[in-house]
Chains A and B, each alone.
Chain A
């Protein structure tokens, strides 16, 4: 028990420490941003520092908390639905050749329709409610999870499956111990992409359908020509997306896929 706790603390420490490398990348972007700001001036592009001040200011305001909450709930529902439906149908298609032949074209059609067209349709169907944002997220992000689920199940190791059958392992045990761990390595890239897409598409749908949330605030700020506020809202959305990915999905993946790290030669780990 104590050994496990120490191992966990060690892992958590390494994970947090690895954030420095990520911060370097972000600071490079900030430097380029600062350069562009010096060239174009504050009216067109506020400096990173000005923007951070504005972020600090809006974080204290009640409307921002409400708007961020709305956007978060919508993108979360959209994410959950897209991942749930996409993974499930993808996995079914991976198991059944007939289902795959049937579903592939459907997904291609969904993929082919531009998201902006879905927003228009969603506006007509759901009106000015959060539903249009959720639907747009689901439609835009579903094919990625579908492809992940399909590839994951289709490329499962048949040799391991035969081994498990030779021991009389049932369907459920085989799914849990053989297919699922393999599937997860395909699903995580799909899920991180979906999480990023969910935030972006929610904000876009909110802006276009004027249904509140951060997108709605963005529309207002644009109308008022409040450039620092526009930048602050953009930074906030990016921060949320980074947070979901690095505080939620990546640690989860790290914990689930520790065996992968074991395969790396000494010194290459992390």
Chain B
């Protein structure tokens, strides 16, 4: 197990968002974390990635290095795309000369041209910025990647391309991933299995396995599964459009 969360609980200003939450991720496994907005998906991710200390419970990380892809690209506006991709490497203490080769490789992996690498984030389109963010995460050769609704802001066509990129990279480099999303279709495309968080902290967590390997599933099967689950009472909260009360 690369990541184990045991009976994790958290509250913001006394309002419980998580209670007794368990999660374990095997090597090379991609788990999608779904839920209505405000249910604590991002909180789980932040606790797992060590950006937030949980109030209760235990987190065990059995991996070398992780990377996070956030909902917004979170690029440094004063760095070029090249320096942004190299940022994680720089934090890890990789020498400058070594960084350049890795950056060029990763840029190619996510479909950025060498010409784009000299541009500042302000000169890139939204999709390209998110590509840079993905390349930055992959550049450190993580064995665990956290995705926090990374493709919410891009259009459907591009979303598919970026998802395929993640699926491909996960298969190639065998990293485990926790993929937070509120899009059932996205979850069914990229993950091996999914967890659905309830709106109320004490509600039941729904766990479902998704047949087949990500990237090898037929589009028709994906749509059929999404349609079936959409009608499933267990997934009702995901579609009723209500925000949780804060």
Contact = CB atoms under 8 A, between A and B. Distances in A.
B120 A166 contact: no
Contacts of A177: 76, 79, 87, 90
Given A263-B120, A263-B122, A181 B49 contact: no
B76 A160 contact: yes
Contacts of B90: 173, 177
A188 to B, nearest CB: 14
Given A168-B91, A173-B91, A162 B51 contact: yes
Contact of A164 (B65, B66, B87, B119): B87
B87 A262 contact: no
Given A259-B122, A262-B119, A263-B123, A165 B88 contact: no
Given A165-B51, A166-B49, A263-B77, A159 B70 contact: yes
B120 A259 contact: yes
A178 interface: yes
A121 B78 CA distance: 45
A162 B123 CA distance: 24
A159 B76 CA distance: 11
A229 B186 CA distance: 78
Nearest to B46: A162
Interface in A209-261: 257, 259
Contact of B70 (A163, A181, A259): A163
Nearest to B65: A168
B49 A178 contact: no
A181 B140 contact: no
B119 A167 contact: no
B78 A259 contact: yes
Contacts of B91: 164, 167-170, 173
Interface in B209-236: none
A181 B84 CA distance: 14
B92 interface: yes
Interface string A167-183: 11110010001100100
Contacts of B119: 262
Q: What 5 A-B pairs are tightest by C-beta distance, nearest first?
A: A263-B122, A169-B91, A262-B120, A166-B68, A167-B88
12 contacts: A160-B74, A162-B51, A166-B67, A166-B146, A168-B65, A168-B91, A170-B91, A177-B76, A177-B90, A259-B122, A262-B119, A262-B122
Given A167-B88, A259-B122, 7 more contacts: A165-B51, A167-B68, A167-B92, A173-B90, A177-B76, A177-B87, A263-B120
